[in-house]
Structures are given as C-alpha cells and as structure tokens.
C-alpha cells in the first residue's frame, strides 16, 4: 500500500514558521511515506539565504523526494537574472533539474516545471509534453502514474491566483498516458476532486507559511494508494494541541482502464 506525502508552498523567508517546519519533519519520520513530493515555492523571493535555509531543511528528509520549482522560486529583485536564467538559483540549491521523475514502491512520479518568466499561471512547452509522454509510456507496468506541477489544474471558477492554462486539454492528454493522480499547490488552499477522465487532482496547502488563505490553516496531504482506491487526507496544524492531525478525508476510485 504505497503512501505519499505531498507538500507545497513552504516559502522559506519572511513568514516562514520554523516550528511548523520542524513538525513536518517529525510527521514525515513518523508516517514513513514511500515518497515525498514538493510542488514548488520553496522560497518567498528566491533570495540566496532563503534557498540556503530550504536546502538545509531538505537535507534532513530521509525519504525519496521529488521537487519542482514554483513561481516564487524565480528571483523577483534581479530582473536580468529572471529573464536570462530564472531557475539558476533553484538548480544550484535544490535540484539540478527542473523536470524530474521518481520511481518508488509501485509509484511512478513525474514533475514538470510549469512556470514562466513573466506570464502568470502555468503551462508546459511542447518539448516538455513530449518528454512527459515518453516518461509515462515507459513507466513500469502496474505502477500508479503521478504527475506534479505547481499551478492548479482545477480553477474552481477563480481567476486569482492564476492557474494552469488550458487545464481540460491537459487532463485529457494526461488521461491518454495513463495518469491517475495529479498533484499541485500554488493557492495555499487544500483541495481534492476527480476529473471527468477519472484523474484524481489533489492540491496541497502551505504547511509552513503564515500566508494561509480562506481559513484553511497550515496543511499538507497524506495520500494512500490501494488497489481500487486513492485516499487523500488533509492534515492540518492545530495550535491548541501543537500538532498536525487529520482535518479532511477524500476517497476516489482508481481508473479501471489503466490496470
């Protein structure tokens, strides 16, 4: 029964809650997931000091980990660098690749950077889509195919913060390549639903930033994969007990056409 911990929008820098960062590490050690997926926004403004703090924290994780950058991981106050090499700092401190793949205990996870230098929201280039298709089509037989990106593929009628461009077209593309689960962040609001194609879309809130939205608090997702079902548990920090605990639970049937 594979399990994932899905984090997003840690935002090292102003507003980072170090006590919650320590709690998340404790949770990961106790829950012992097969993989940890972090879907971007490691920093607040991509400053070197913020990246150094994020790297130190990541170095303490003891589980297989896949990361991708978020829109905040491009330098805001270095416009030339943002235009020429927007992810150089991410690649120096976090991961040399901005698109990555991870295989762990029945899981095949692919992460794609959907951020652009100036445009709001996210999308993948044609080269990224071609690479993604090759990765998914070459996944081990029987593995649950997971894709993670930063911006939300389900907008829920919202225009801000801007989400992934042309999400319906993208979900149809992912369904063609056997994807069962999509993970994203960006809005700081946890969410889970199943698309018409049968793809489960789970969004993680922020576990460690004071920039929470709509009263959702500080949260992350614990995802449990069973033979016929995927469960998404939203774990939320409770100040009174000074601990994370289960706040919401979602259960979705798996796509029978990919078995």
The per-residue pLDDT for range 105-124, each reduced to its tens digit, is 999 999 999 999 888 899 99
Lowest mean pLDDT among 10-14, 158-162, 208-212: 158-162
> With 60 as the cut, is the pLDDT of residue 95 above it?
yes
188: helix, strand or coil: coil
> With 70 as the cut, is the pLDDT of residue 160 above it?
no
> With 90 as the cut, is the pLDDT of residue 14 above it?
yes
> With 60 as the cut, is the pLDDT of residue 259 above it?
no
Predicted local confidence at residue 175, as pLDDT: 97
Question: Considering the chain, what percentage of its residues have pLDDT values greater than 70?
Answer: 98
Question: Considering the chain, what percentage of its residues have pLDDT values greater than 90?
Answer: 88
23: helix, strand or coil: helix
d(CA 22, CA 234): 18
Find out whether 106 and 2 touch, Cβ atoms under 8 Å. yes
At the fourth CATH level, the homologous superfamily of domain 3-258 is Metallo-dependent phosphatases (3.60.21.10)
Domain ranges of the chain: 3-258
Predicted local confidence at residue 209, as pLDDT: 98
The per-residue pLDDT for range 168-223, each reduced to its tens digit, is 999 999 999 999 999 999 999 999 999 999 999 999 999 999 999 988 999 999 99
d(CA 32, CA 38): 16
Predicted local confidence at residue 256, as pLDDT: 74
Q: What is the mean pLDDT of the chain?
A: 95
Residue 159 class from Cβ within 10 Å (0-12 exposed, 13-18 middle, 19+ buried)? exposed
> Cα separations (Å) of 198 from 106, 150, 176, 193, 249?
19, 20, 11, 9, 18
> With 60 as the cut, is the pLDDT of residue 76 above it?
yes
Question: In the predicted model, what is the mean pLDDT of residues 74-100?
Answer: 95
């Amino acid at each position: 029964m594979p399990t994932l911990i899905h984090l997003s929008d840690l935002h090292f820098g102003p507003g980072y809650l170090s006590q919650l960062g320590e709690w998340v590490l404790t949770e990961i050690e106790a829950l012992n997931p097969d993989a940890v997926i972090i879907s971007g926004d490691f920093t607040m403004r991509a400053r070197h000091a913020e990246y150094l703090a994020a790297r130190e924290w990541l170095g303490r994780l003891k589980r297989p980990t896949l990361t991708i950058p978020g829109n905040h991981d491009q330098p805001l106050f270095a416009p030339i660098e943002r235009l020429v090499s927007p992810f150089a700092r991410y690649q120096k401190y976090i991961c040399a690749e901005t698109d990555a793949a991870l295989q762990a205990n029945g899981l095949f996870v692919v992460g794609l950077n959907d951020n652009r230098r100036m445009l709001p929201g996210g999308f993948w280039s044609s080269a990224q889509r071609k690479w993604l298709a090759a990765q998914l089509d070459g996944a081990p037989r029987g593995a649950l195919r997971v894709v993670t990106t930063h911006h939300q593929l389900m907008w829920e009628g919202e225009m801000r913060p801007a989400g992934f461009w042309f999400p319906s077209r993208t979900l149809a593309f992912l369904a063609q390549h056997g994807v069962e689960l999509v993970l994203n962040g960006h809005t700081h609001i946890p969410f889970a639903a199943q698309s018409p194609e049968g793809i489960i879309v789970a969004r993680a809130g922020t576990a460690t930033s004071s920039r929470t939205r709509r009263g959702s608090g500080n949260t992350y997702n614990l995802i449990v994969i069973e033979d016929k079902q995927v469960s998404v548990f939203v774990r939320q920090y409770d100040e009174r007990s000074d601990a994370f605990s289960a706040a919401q639970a979602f259960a979705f049937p798996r796509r029978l056409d990919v078995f």
